Chain A
Amino acid sequence: MGDEAEDLVQNCLLKAFRAYGGVRDERALKAWFTTILVNCARDRYRRQGRQPVTTPLHEVEEFSLYRQIAEEDPFPYSDSLHLDFLCQFGPEDVWAVLRGLPPTYRLPLVLVHMEDLATKQVARMLQVPLGTLLARLHRGRKLFERSLWDYAVRNGLLKDAAALEATKEALT
């Protein structure tokens, strides 16, 4: 966790501590706390003058990781090609890929698919219409797929795994 993230969490804890008396429904605590954290992050980015990144998406819109893996066939001896591809990624790799995405797309992905929050809830948190949130999720997933492939190629994940597989095959 970087200094900036830790600072944000401290700021969030302070705000949550002050506002805790107003919490009526303890079952909604997670969403309540996450909303404070998201707001703290957004305020900080605004103060720093960071603009939401508008990534040219025409390249990723047509990208299919499923098709890419099938066509490139990085593990010729595998019976479960797509699963084997995902298995090359450790937790650090996955977070490195996620950190590389623009926050506009990373936040919806993390909140919906990793924190298991409902899309309507996340739209309210991020103060965007549901349609905008769904569009960002769609683009975020596309960017994530593309970035997974690029990361695997750049970091030799496919080459090392393929070499290991070929060695195993040769020994049997």
Chain B
Amino acid sequence: MISCSDAVQQLWDFLEREVSAEDAARIEEHLNVCRRCCGELEFAEELRRFLASHARPEMPDDVEGRLTAFLHGIESA
């Protein structure tokens, strides 16, 4: 069975389905018996959601205004 270190190293790729079927099976085998790595997996999922929830910070109004004016300028040129 793979070690915790090997399992943890591949957890995100496992979540992203970027590991081979063989590697996924090894990770699952490890997760079935390792409580700590299950915690690591849950936290990796939390972190993924955390990152996704902070996408696209709002553009400041003044910047949006300038970029819109720039676009209108291109269109009318």
Interface residues of A (CB under 8 A from B): 1, 6, 9-10, 13-14, 17, 62, 64-67, 70, 82-83, 86, 89, 91, 94-95, 109-110, 112-116, 119, 134, 137-138, 141, 144-145
Contacts and interface: CB of A to CB of B under 8 A. Distances in A.
A119 B13 CA distance: 11
8 contacts: A65-B47, A66-B39, A86-B46, A86-B47, A91-B54, A94-B51, A112-B16, A114-B54
A10 B43 CA distance: 38
Given A1-B59, A6-B66, A137 B12 contact: yes
Contacts of B70: 10, 13
Interface in B57-76: 57, 59-60, 63, 66-67, 70-71, 74-75
What is the predominant secondary structure among interface residues of chain B facing chain A?
helix
Given A13-B70, A86-B47, A1 B54 contact: no
Interface of B: 5, 8-9, 12-13, 16, 18, 39-40, 43-44, 46-48, 50-52, 54-57, 59-60, 63, 66-67, 70-71, 74-75
Nearest to A82: B43
**Dominant secondary structure of chain A at its interface with chain B:** helix
B12 A65 contact: no
Contacts of B12: 137-138, 141
A58 to B, nearest CB: 14
B51 A10 contact: no
A113 B48 contact: yes
Kindly name the residue among A95, A109, A114 whose own CB sees the greatest number of chain B CB atoms within 10 A: A114
In the A-B complex, the 10 residue pairs with the smallest Cβ-Cβ separation, listed nearest first, are: A114-B55, A66-B43, A113-B51, A94-B54, A66-B40, A1-B63, A17-B74, A86-B50, A82-B43, A10-B70
Contacts of B39: 66, 70, 82
B54 to A, nearest CB: 4
Contact of A14 (B52, B54, B74): B74
Contacts of B59: 1
A59 B56 CA distance: 30
B57 to A, nearest CB: 6
Nearest to B55: A114
B67 A10 contact: yes
Given A6-B66, A13-B74, A64 B51 contact: no
A114 B52 contact: yes
